[in-house]
Structure formats: structure tokens, C-alpha cells
Amino acid sequence: MVNAVRGTKDILPEEIPLWYFVEKTLRQVSSLFGFKEIRTPIFEKTEVFLRSIGAETDIVNKEMYTFFDRGGDSITLRPEMTAPVVRAVIQNNLLAYDSLLRLWYYGPLFRYERPQKGRLRQFHQYGAELIGSSEPEADAEIILLAKEIVERLGIAEYKLLLNSIGNKASRQQYKQQLILYFEKYADCLSNESRERLKKNPLRILDSKDERDLEIIKNCPKIYDYFDKESIEHYNRTKELLALNNINFQETPLLVRGLDYYTHTVFEFQSPLLGAQDSFGGGGRYNELFSEFGFKKEVPAIGFAFGIERILLILESQHSISYEESPYTYIAYNKPEFLPRVYELARLLRKNNIPTLFDMQKKSLKAQMKDANKYGVKFVIIIGDDEMKNNTITIKDMEKSLQNTYTSEKGIETILNSYLPNEDN
Ligand code: HAM
């Protein structure tokens, strides 16, 4: 028996309706906010991620699926989608047509992480990027989009954490102070944080280690090192969120795991998830275009949701009843009636009615049993009388009523009793 790779998972037919519900909601809300979908390749040149995510991040250091292809190029399965989107915007010159881009994406990502509940090696993200504005109004708009999705999905228990890590100059100053502070306690820090002190001191703030937390408690606060631009941007963003009645929890220690952020960062967390409680996150990345060698500065902000984590929340809430349109089943008692069955099935399916019939020469009784198993709405019965008189008998399974009609009248009855539903 060959099993799936650790940290990957089959999405089985019974789980699909919930995926469809989530995907449909994401598409709908994206259009409401004027965002257009972009699809980029699942793998990229490794350089795309090295330039953007940061050489000292967990993702680049230990989580990327990187390999040499047969031509000797270093290729990486995408561990996130912001960098590929920026690469695509530059390569396709999208900013030449529109200086403000509203883009969304959806698809599988790959990170070699230790699998656990809510943490997979292949997982899915929906994300949105608002590219071309440095204004706090853009920060607010992206958070409003995220919030609208959370609400429409019916996620009840969650919080929105908000922070700013300032612009590059402020952050540089802050980093220096952090190094000075943490060096004093280097011997008491966890191994991981000691390592981060050398390479990426800001990430120490993310530590969950008890001893680290004691030391972090009194460390310098980032806001004390903000310059005018950083303060103004952050304050205005908070004002705009308040104006829109968005509740957020200001979290000075929120730094996120990717190096491209500047100013606003945020995260959505839910207590329904357990240890991996973050189901979405994002922030501003005003310097990423320059990292890619783009000649102009292009300020941008975006976020991504983890779809598997959203599904875990929805499943634990038991709140979603996603109904698929029920079938009509055509039952017939002789194989030679099949032409009539095909004719009816063609007509029904053309009119968007999901239709099933037997393909295994089962008895009429066994066909009725199948119809029951599938929870169908109607059974059309074609027996000897129906064939002779060119009629159909319809059994309404919900009402337990049975009537015989002319073919046209019968089909009309069925069509009229299905609700118009775009998912049919
Ligand atoms: P991220 O925080 O690395 O951000 O990922 C966003 C979300 O993806 C997480 O909150 C989580 O729900 C989900 N996720 C991450 N890793 C896993 C995993 N191993 N298994 C299951 N779910 C996972 C980004 O990726 C940024 N590109 C977001 C962004 C867009 N920033 C600006 N624009």
C-alpha cells in the first residue's frame, strides 16, 4: 500500500461542498471590493522567494521544497504567493495599465513544516494584494475585505490582532536596541532565540518559550522608535478601522514570519483552532518591489487566509448547512426502455436538473432502494404502462406522492419544483 506524503491530505467528495461554499464566498467578496483574480505557476525560480521572504526566515531556512530541474535551474514549489504575484506584476507590466492593482489568488502552497492539526505540507491559501497605494486608506480597505470574508463565512469566534513595525529606518533603530537588550540576557534565552539574536532579532518577539517570554516582557517597545511617518501611518490606520467599527487588539509583539513587511501587520486568530490558531495574516510591504529590482517604489499591502484552518473552524462550529441540489432518479424496469431514459436524462440535465439512472441492470426494486440512498427529490418511473402510453410516473419522495403525467407535463412539473439555484 502506498500512502500519501506526510502532511498532505486527500479532500474527499463529502468534504467538497464546504470547500465550494468557502470558495464561492471568497470569489463573491473579492468582486464586491473590485479585486480581480490572478493565477501564477505553482513553482518559481528559487530566487523569487530568496529575494523576498528573507534569508533568515523559517520558510527560507528550512521549509522550502527546492530542487534542481533537469536543466539545472533551482526551482521552488511556492511557499507563499505574495512574491510570485509581485514577480508577475513586474514581468507583465501590469502597473503600466493601472497604477492601483486589486488582485486576489487562490491555490495550493508547500512548506516543509512539522505536520499537526491545522499545519500541513501542502495547504491552500486565498490572498488579496492591493498594490500601488501607500495611504492608510489602503490598509483599511484590505482589512475591511478580510473582515467581510470572515463574517460571510460565519466565523463566530475570532480576534484581529494589529500592529505596526514602522518603516525601514525606524525598524533598523529598533533592531539595534533589541540586540543591545537581548544580548544582556543571551545566556537565558532559548536556543532558537539565541540563534535569532544573531540573524533576525525581531523574530525573538514571536517566541512561545516561557523563559523567553519573561525576558521579552520588559524589552524595548517598537512604538518608542517610530519616526513621524511611522506614527502617522499607524494612527490613521487605527482611526479608519475605528470609523468602520472594526474591533482589533493592538499587539506590539506581533511581528509575523516574513521579512518583507513594513508598517501595518495583522493576524486573524481563533480559539477554535488550538495551537495553530492563526487562520490569516498579512501586512504592508512597501519595499518588496525594490527588492525585485523594480525601478520605482511601489507601496502595497495584502493578506492571506489558510483555507484548511478556516474549514477546521467552520467544522467545529457545526453552523454551516450547505445543501446541494437534490437529484432526480429515473427508474426503469427493462433494458429496452433505455432510449427513453436517455431522452429524459438529456432533457433534465439540459435544464440543470441533476439526474441519475441505473447503469447496472438492477431490478426496479433495487433502483428504488438506490434512489432512497441518494436522497433524491423525485423518482421518474418508466414501466410497461408508461412506455405504452408515452407517460411518466413521478414519485415525489419528500411528499410521498405518486402521479402519472404525459411526458411534457411531467417534466414541466419537475422543472417548476426545483428552486432556481446557480449551483444546480
Ligand atoms: P502567512 O502568515 O505565512 O502569510 O500565511 C497565511 C496563512 O496561511 C496563515 O495564517 C495560516 O492560516 C496559513 N498557513 C500557513 N502555513 C500553513 C501550513 N503549513 N498549513 C496550513 N495553513 C498554513 C503569508 O503567506 C503572506 N504571503 C500573507 C500576505 C499576503 N502578506 C501580504 N500579502
C-alpha pair distances (Å), 345 with each of 142, 249, 328: 46, 56, 9
Task: From first to last of the 424 residues of the chain, give the pLDDT tens digit.
Answer: 999 999 999 999 989 999 999 999 999 999 999 999 999 999 999 999 998 988 888 898 899 999 999 999 999 999 999 999 999 999 999 999 999 999 999 999 999 999 999 999 999 999 999 999 999 999 999 999 999 999 999 999 999 999 999 999 999 999 999 999 999 999 999 999 998 998 889 999 989 899 999 999 999 999 999 999 999 999 999 999 999 999 999 999 998 888 899 999 999 999 999 888 999 999 999 999 999 999 999 999 999 999 999 999 999 987 666 667 789 999 999 999 999 999 999 999 999 999 999 999 999 999 999 999 999 999 999 999 999 999 999 999 999 999 999 999 999 999 999 876 545 4
pLDDT at 347: 96
Whether ligand 1 lies within 6 angstroms of the CB of 303 is answered as: yes
Instruction: Tell the burial category of 8 from Cβ atoms under 10 Å away from its Cβ (0-12, 13-18, 19+).
Output: middle
The residue whose C-alpha atom lies closest to atom 20 belonging to ligand 1 is 119
Beta bridge mates, 283: 265, 302
Q: Angle at the Cα of 111 (from 109 to 114), degrees rounded to 5?
A: 135
- Helices 307-317 and 16-32, interaxial angle, to 10°? 110
How far does residue 306's CA lie from ligand 1's centre (Å)? 6
Whether ligand 1 lies within 6 angstroms of the CB of 125 is answered as: yes
Give the C-alpha separation, 79 to 108, whole Å: 9
Place of cell 457545526: 318
Name, in order, each residue with C-beta under 8 angstroms of 294's C-beta and a sequence gap of 6 or more: 90
Residue 384 grid cell: 410497461
How far does residue 304's CA lie from ligand 1's centre (Å)? 6
- What is the distance of C-alpha 86 from the center of its chain? 19
Whether ligand 1 lies within 6 angstroms of the CB of 120 is answered as: yes
Whether ligand 1 lies within 6 angstroms of the CB of 282 is answered as: yes
How far does residue 323's CA lie from ligand 1's centre (Å)? 29
DSSP string, 10-57: ---GGGHHHHHHHHHHHHHHHHHTT-EE----SEEEHHHHHHHT-TTS
The three-state secondary structure class of 3 is coil
Whether ligand 1 lies within 6 angstroms of the CB of 263 is answered as: no
pLDDT at 424: 40
Place of cell 439512472: 357
pLDDT at 199: 86
How far does residue 173's CA lie from ligand 1's centre (Å)? 28
The residue whose C-alpha atom lies closest to atom 2 belonging to ligand 1 is 281
pLDDT at 319: 63
pLDDT at 421: 58
The residue whose C-alpha atom lies closest to atom 10 belonging to ligand 1 is 280
The residue whose C-alpha atom lies closest to atom 23 belonging to ligand 1 is 306
